[in-house]
Amino acid sequence: MSNNKKIVVEDFGFYYDKFKALKNINIELEEKTITAFIGPSGCGKSTFLRSLNRMNDLIENIHYEGKIILDGDNVLSKKYDVVQLRKQVGMVFQKPNPFPKSIYENIVYAPKLYGIKGKAELDELVEKTLRSVALWEEVKDKLHKSALALSGGQQQRLCIARTIAMNPEVILMDEPTSALDPISTAKVEQLISELKNDYTIIIVTHSMQQAARISDKTAFFLMGEIIEIGETGQLFSMPRDQRTEDYITGKFG
């Protein structure tokens, strides 16, 4: 593997109370690469994704073991600033979840909290981020209208723009197209492929076709463990583990 590791996970385990949902996770996630997590429902892929920016901290009675190292620091350490972590490692959810505010306010809400106050700077940020998700031309005349009036696909692209506005290094995506129609899905997939020039992207997907289309690396999860990770083309055409092959060929799932 090349030396451009963005996140290194060592012997990671995750517990919901006494239930061990993830065990012995060891994985290196490369910079400016799209890594897809696949596997049947309930296998731990979303739980692991949400561990990477400690979104699981919002659940009671959970605990972690092992390390998740981002840029050389263990984000699971008590001293690590979780607010800063979520700024560095942004999240896009399964269902588009724009704030019930204007399109403009959706983009500037968090940057304003972090001290960007000048109107010219905010205007520029809004245009730049909406252009980066190919939404500017569609919404530039209705920036002050409610984001909830947008279509589902537009809302999801707005949510990606809102994440980008915080200038993260990593973007986590939890099944970002599962609530979208095929045309919107294709637009979001194209966007994800373009974003990897600037960001490290980790995507959980139920669609093996989607993983094959857009990811560079794929990790197969089963019952809380990573069974196999490899270059996407290799993993789908010549998996090394029989369980991976059985899942990919539809014997279970």
Q: What is the pLDDT of residues 22-35, one digit of tens each?
A: 999 999 999 999 99
Q: What is the CA radius of gyration of the chain?
A: 18
Of 67, 64, 68, 44, the closest CA to residue 221 belongs to 44
Alpha helices in 11-118 (DSSP H): 45-51, 82-88, 103-113
Q: Are 45 and 39 in contact (CB under 8 A)?
A: yes
Q: Name the percent of the chain lying above pLDDT 90.
A: 97
Please list, in sequence order, all residues whose beta carbon lies within 8 angstroms of the beta carbon of residue 135, skipping any fewer than 6 positions away: 154, 157, 158, 161
Q: What's the CA gap between 19 and 33, in Å, rounded?
A: 32
- Condensed to tens digits (0 to 9), the pLDDT of residues 73-101 reads 999 999 999 999 999 999 999 999 999 99
Low-confidence ranges of the chain (pLDDT < 50): 1-2
pTM of the model: 0.95
